[in-house]
Amino acid sequence: MAFLPSPPDAGPFKRSFWRSPLRGPWLASFLSSALLPLIVICALTGFLSHAAYDTDLGENAVFGDKGGFDFYFFDWPSSPAWLYAVTQGLHIITGLAAIPILLAKLWAVIPKLFESPPVRSLAHGLERLGLALLVGGTLFVFATGVLNIQLWYPFGFAFVPAHYYGAFIFLGALAFHIGTKIKVMRRAYRDQGIVRPLRDDLAHTRPEAEPTDEHEETSAPANPAAPTLTRRALVATVGAGSVGLAVMGAGQVIGGPFRSLAFLAPRGEGFGSGPNDFQVNKTFASVGIKRDEVGPDWGLILQVGDERKVKLSRAQLLAMDQVTEKLPIACVEGWTTTQEWSGVRLSELARMAGAAQDAEVQVRSVQKGGAFNQATLNSGQLNEQRSLLALKVNGADLSLDHGFPARVIVPALPGVHCTKWVGKMVFSA
Amino acid sequence: MSALRARYGAGPLHLLGVLAALVISAYALSRVFSLLPQPLSFFVWFVGAIVLHDLLFLPGYSLLGSGVARVVAGDGPPSRVRIAALNHLRVPVLLAGLALLVFFPVVLRTGETTFKAANGLTPDVYLGRWLALTAVLLVGSLLVFCIRLPRLRRQ
């Protein structure tokens, strides 16, 4: 049953065009088996990252509206302190590690793109439409993610909603793809064993069998060339690439001395050795704050609802009980830095303002524009004893790049919600 | 049921599954349309990614690879030495290429302005680092090849 005119029986549309003896259902299945756990972890941690922004609070909604599957039913916890460093670190590490396997998988099945006839039945046509969504969705999500962590934004759209809803397309199509291919995978493993083809040396590296079922065209070659690479060498090369990229990711997630392992990763550059010499997310120079806005006249305004309670100078804040906590700050871009922060407990400021026990707080920066010049913290984060309005780091005053005169630091909170250059805290009435 | 199989080409689960995937995609696209001021650019990147990978990138590296293979391994049945030489060349090149493919924005400094605005550093160290990685991979592979060579010749 042909729904479309057949393509010419030439070039890539000819079965004999594809010569590699390594391609076939076993190779595709094996690569998929390695890919799937990475994608599952990457997807789950991706959605968790969205939850970590507590998008239902205040103006936290990253999409600018509260429609769609953009709501969560739990407040993001503030313990353990390394929670977000681990979930978001895993997101970036598994995402990077998946890339070489994904590329190898696409290479393994490319002959199927040119299969003939292009559409055998309605089911086959819809399945191929699903594949277009799968391949497009995968490449889209991975490409935007990789560009975003390197701080290059050549796409003309907002990253977060595009990456988030691109993932919906990708994951929906992936679930269907797994459903249709699980048979192929089971058959390949039954016929050839799960790892048996990895034992073959070059002399024993033979093409996978031609499909026996005439309705199922596979990626195994009809006209194979002599092998020049074993399957285990191919898998080892892909695995080496995967491990290498994972190490790059892990180095900037763990930080400290391990950062040097991430020598190609965007956060693999070291700063000096001073108290303020660690990774910056937004520099002071880039946010358009005037020097005198954070000068001697700066003061922190505490409000409960619309009612202004008190304005505290930096000297007054420094005269309050100072607490020091060693806490990681983790960025959505998959890097972490752990420092010793000193300042005033947020709960102490809440008490001073006379806020209710279960209040939330919106922290506003003196920064005028920008997507993250404010963030609302849930009451758990506000009451957490390690949540600070930090005035110092590693014993020294915060630098302007790190949020002088004062910044928020809350355990397990995405870094960009740890507002810098704080001007005002508005507790919910 | 068999009528469905005859007309549709697969069972009811297949139909349900593909419809579910399409509904999820349609929903995601509707959100993209309501959230992004330029939803067309989403399409351009989505379709562009397929075209770029399947019709340019993959054929490009395949042609390059088979060209190199012809030069190194020759046209006839290749000797073990030639096959090993080919692999000791293409594996490090593949890995260095992968590193460049993933990290080209910092290596080639395409996003230098936004990079500097974010962390105050310039990405000018990365080209040197990538070149060093490439050199280490190639030289390392060459050394291993030299060590293997006597044994390959004997076989």
Helix (H) or strand (E) segment spanning residue A86: helix A83-109
Return the pLDDT at A61: 85
Give the tokens for residue A251: 């180095």
Measured over the CA atoms of residue A359, residue A365, residue A366 and residue A370, the dihedral's sign is: negative
Side chain identity at B28, as an amino acid letter? A
Return the pLDDT at A394: 98
Q: Are A2 and A120 in contact (CB under 8 A)?
A: yes
Dihedral, A250, A253, A256, A259 alpha carbons, nearest 10: 50
Which residues of A fall within a CB distance of 8 Å from B36?
157-158, 161-162
Query: What is the pLDDT of chain B when averaged over all its residues?
Result: 95
Q: Is the pLDDT of residue A162 over 60?
A: yes
The three-state secondary structure class of A404 is: coil
Return the pLDDT at A3: 60
A138 belongs to a structural domain: yes
> Does residue A353 sit in the same domain as residue A232?
no
> Does residue A293 sit in the same domain as residue A214?
no
Q: What gap in Å lies between CA A324 and CA B102, rounded to an integer? A: 39
ipTM of the complex: 0.97
Give the closest-approach CA distance of B83 to chain A in angstroms: 6
Whether residues B120 and A280 touch (CB distance < 8 A) is answered with yes
A391 belongs to a structural domain: yes
Whether residues A241 and B98 touch (CB distance < 8 A) is answered with yes
Q: What gap in Å lies between CA A34 and CA A38, rounded to an integer? A: 7
Q: Is the pLDDT of residue A390 over 70?
A: yes
> Does residue A312 sit in the same domain as residue A385?
yes
Domain that holds residue A422: 284-427
> Does residue A37 sit in the same domain as residue A169?
yes
> Does residue A247 sit in the same domain as residue A313?
no
Which residues of A fall within a CB distance of 8 Å from B20?
172, 175-176
A192 belongs to a structural domain: yes
Can you give A167-204 as a three-state secondary structure string?
HHHHHHHHHHHHHHHHHHHHHHHHHHCCCHHHHCCHHH
Q: What gap in Å lies between CA A235 and CA A221, rounded to an integer? A: 19
Q: What gap in Å lies between CA A315 and CA A298, rounded to an integer? A: 10
- Give A66: exposed, middle or buried? Use CB within 10 Å, 0-12, 13-18, 19+: exposed
pLDDT in tens, B19-43: 999 999 999 999 999 999 889 999 9
> Does residue A77 sit in the same domain as residue A187?
yes
pTM: 0.96
Question: For residue A396, how far is the Cα from the chain centroid?
Answer: 32
DSSP string, A249-303: HHHHHH-GGGGGG-TTSTT-----SSTT-S--SS-GGGTT--GGGGSTT--EEEE
Q: Which of A395, A267, A397, A241 is nearest to A332 (CA)?
A: A267
Q: Is the pLDDT of residue B64 over 70?
A: yes
Return the pLDDT at A73: 72
CA A319 vs CA A51, A60, A157: distances in Å: 36, 32, 46
Return the pLDDT at A66: 67
Could you give the strand order of the β-sheet that contains A422-427, starting from the edge strand earlier in sequence? A307-312, A300-304, A422-427, A361-365, A374-377
Q: Are A135 and B54 in contact (CB under 8 A)?
A: yes
Q: Is the pLDDT of residue A215 over 70?
A: no
Average pLDDT over residues A357-379: 95
Q: What is the CATH number of the domain that holds A361?
A: 3.90.420.10
Q: What gap in Å lies between CA A325 and CA A389, rounded to an integer? A: 11
> Does residue A253 sit in the same domain as residue A296?
no
Q: Are A406 and A293 in contact (CB under 8 A)?
A: no
Instruction: Band the pLDDT of A266: cuts 50, 70, 90.
Output: very high
A265 belongs to a structural domain: no
Return the pLDDT at A424: 97
pLDDT in tens, B114-126: 999 999 999 999 9
Return the pLDDT at A22: 97
Q: What gap in Å lies between CA A406 and CA A418, rounded to an integer? A: 11
A3 belongs to a structural domain: no
Per mean pLDDT, which range of A142-146, A160-164, A217-221, B95-99 is the poorest? Answer: A217-221
Q: Which of B1, B60, B54, B30 is nearest to A128 (CA)?
A: B54
Average pLDDT over residues A74-100: 97
Q: Is the pLDDT of residue A213 over 90?
A: no
Whether residues B49 and A150 touch (CB distance < 8 A) is answered with no
Side chain identity at B73, as an amino acid letter? A
> Does residue A43 sit in the same domain as residue A116?
yes
pLDDT in tens, A301-329: 999 999 998 999 999 999 999 999 999 99
Q: Which of B45, B72, B133 has the most A C-beta neighbours within 10 Å, making it the best mutation to test the interface with A?
A: B45
Return the pLDDT at A218: 86
Q: Is the pLDDT of residue A393 over 90?
A: yes
Average pLDDT over residues A255-275: 93
A6 belongs to a structural domain: no
Average pLDDT over residues A61-75: 73
Q: Which of A393, A404, A355, A400 is nearest to A377 (CA)?
A: A355
**Number of structural domains found in chain A:** 2
Q: What gap in Å lies between CA A357 and CA B74, rounded to an integer? A: 78
> Does residue A221 sit in the same domain as residue A354?
no
Q: Is the pLDDT of residue A214 over 60?
A: no
Q: Which of A288, A297, A281 is nearest to A408 (CA)?
A: A281
Q: What gap in Å lies between CA A58 and CA A382, rounded to an integer? A: 14
> pLDDT above 70 covers what percent of chain A?
95
Instruction: Band the pLDDT of A293: cuts 50, 70, 90.
Output: very high
Return the pLDDT at B155: 75
Q: Which of B1, B4, B5, B25 has the most A C-beta neighbours within 10 Å, making it the best mutation to test the interface with A?
A: B25
CA angle B149, B154, B155 (to 5 degrees): 100
> Does residue A66 sit in the same domain as residue A141?
yes
Average pLDDT over residues A239-243: 98
> Does residue A236 sit in the same domain as residue A306?
no
Query: What is the pLDDT of chain A when averaged over all its residues?
Result: 94
Q: What gap in Å lies between CA A314 and CA A343, rounded to an integer? A: 10
pLDDT in tens, A90-120: 999 999 999 999 999 999 999 999 998 899 9
Q: What gap in Å lies between CA A360 and CA A378, rounded to an integer? A: 5
A291 belongs to a structural domain: yes
Q: Which of B1, B18, B56 has the most A C-beta neighbours within 10 Å, making it the best mutation to test the interface with A?
A: B18
> Does residue A111 sit in the same domain as residue A227?
yes
A67 belongs to a structural domain: yes
Instruction: Band the pLDDT of B78: cuts 50, 70, 90.
Output: confident
Instruction: Band the pLDDT of B77: cuts 50, 70, 90.
Output: confident
Q: What gap in Å lies between CA B15 and CA A19, rounded to an integer? A: 34
